[in-house]
Amino acid sequence: MRHDKFLQFDSGPGDNCLIIFSSNDQLKILEDTEEVFIDGTFKVTPVIFYQLYTIHGVYRNNMFPLVFALLPDKYQRTYQRIINELVHICPLWNPKSIMVDFEKAAINAFREVLLQAQIKQQYRAVFFHLQNSVQRKVQELGLKNAYENDSSFAYDVNKIAALAFLQPSEVSQDFDEFYLSLPPILQPLMDYFEDTYIGGRRPNGRATPRFPIELWNMHQRTINHSMRTNNSVEAWHRRPINSVIQCQHPSTSLGIFIESIQKEENYIHCQIVKINAGQNSNPSKKYMDYGKRKGESTESWNLTESNGIS
């Protein structure tokens, strides 16, 4: 029977309680992985906490959750606390790339704390969340019915997020050309996207957007056949809801939650043992084929043709 330490940090009782779970196996992978994927979920969080925050990493072309953290809120200071504790627990943690969602507090926290530790990071926001932000704005503007029932309209909306696959230097000009080709009903959506992700036009150029192009652009990652989104991470968050943690927030008790993630950690340990023994150590054919197709399509796209983005 394994007796690995699993509770790595507990701040103690109080309104700002923070708890971090991770095994020795997971921490070793965290130290070695160059790219981490980070996401939060609120659906299976014990009643006294606000969210479950997970850090995932790649080990021999397989994605694993490496850290489970229960957070009291989503403020920048809280994200800074968890990063500081992880640096203390895992001092060799030195990722080259951190993939996060479009949450300014988390982005600022990772940038501030890890840069103070003289770690050079490349921050990449998740394409999945870029798409979601466009979809949320569609609903907010009352365009959901048109999106669901008009295929041409939906096609135009989907092309907005496709700007992420252009070379960063081409995004601004292509956005302007795309803007002029769209029907007036989409102007508010395009204005939102411009202000948030590109920067509004000014006499001397563009304003600084809330999320710079370099943060959400996926061109080079796709050319390199890198993982495009947090699909594996999102799938993991669905897995505990459906099969690991059998009850949902706010009814989830802390005891049930801990028991569930301990079972999940044991499952992860078994998968790592299999990989180390030579089983499933290569990326699946489906993943490789997908990466190849995306790379080829990105290389061949010409989004500045007279008919707009295609």
Does position 250 have pLDDT exceeding 70, yes or no?
A: no
* Residue 212 structure tokens: 């710079």
In DSSP terms, 53 is beta-bridged to 40, 69
**Cα–Cα distance measured from residue 280 to residue 274, given in angstroms and rounded to the nearest whole number:** 7
CA dihedral 187, 193, 195, 199 (to 10 degrees): -110
Q: Is this prediction's pTM over 0.95?
A: no
Whether residue 41 contacts residue 25, with contact meaning beta carbons closer than 8 Å, is answered with: no
Does position 295 have pLDDT exceeding 60, yes or no?
A: no
Q: Which amino acid is residue 83, in one-letter code?
A: I
N- to C-terminal Cα distance for the chain? 57
Average pLDDT (184-213) is 93
* pLDDT score, position 305: 38
**Cα–Cα distance measured from residue 98 to residue 211, given in angstroms and rounded to the nearest whole number:** 15
Q: What is the DSSP letter of 73?
A: -
pLDDT band at 235 (very low <50, low <70, confident <90, very high): low
pLDDT band at 296 (very low <50, low <70, confident <90, very high): very low
Fold of 7-126+230-279: Nucleotidyltransferase; domain 5 (3.30.420)
Average pLDDT (174-180) is 94
Does position 249 have pLDDT exceeding 60, yes or no?
A: no
Asked which of 114-123, 150-159, 194-203, 207-216 is least confident by mean pLDDT, the reply is 114-123
* pLDDT score, position 126: 66
* pLDDT score, position 301: 39
* pLDDT score, position 226: 56
Q: In this prediction, what percent of the chain has a pLDDT beyond 70?
A: 76
Domains of the chain, residue spans: 7-126+230-279, 127-220+292-300
Q: What is the DSSP letter of 85?
A: H
**Cα–Cα distance measured from residue 258 to residue 263, given in angstroms and rounded to the nearest whole number:** 9
**Cα–Cα distance measured from residue 299 to residue 158, given in angstroms and rounded to the nearest whole number:** 19
**Cα–Cα distance measured from residue 110 to residue 116, given in angstroms and rounded to the nearest whole number:** 10
